[in-house]
Amino acid sequence: MATNTSMCAICDPRHLTTSSTHWCPECEEALYVDCKEYHMLSKASRGHHIIPISDYNSLPSFIANIDLFCTDHNEKYTQYCVKHECPICSKCIKEHGNCGGLTILEEVALDIKSSEVFREMEQSVNDLMVNISRIRSDRESNLKIIKVKRHKS
């Protein structure tokens, strides 16, 4: 995704220094509040889901750095190859045409939060966090006990 999220991507080429207030994940551009309104009215981008820049900046880096465009063809990913488990653009379809498992990328991601695999993974992460918290607490308790024993001897 973009590196400079502090300046509006529409104002910057016009040599206007306006701070961005929103982020368009589909365009990968930061937008000023007025430019956001135009962006939402434009026929090409009116269906885009725009988020506050603070929400974008608070995303973990592994999420924010997900590529939305094909590195080989510089086109947006639109399909998903089930066989190779990878997103592909419209030009990659030629290479993956015989894979037999192409599907629309939006359909793959549509119900991901309600899928059983997602729920199981979420539960595993929650269990892991509880275990890590217990381990930290035990270690801190052990360190306190060791300090007390040192002072006694």
Which residue has better confidence, 70 or 142?
142
Tell whether the model's pLDDT for residue 130 goes beyond 90: yes
Number of Cβ atoms within 10 Å of the Cβ of 86: 12
Per-chain mean pLDDT for the chain: 86
Which residue has better confidence, 36 or 97?
36
Decide if 5 contacts 24 (C-beta within 8 A). Answer: no
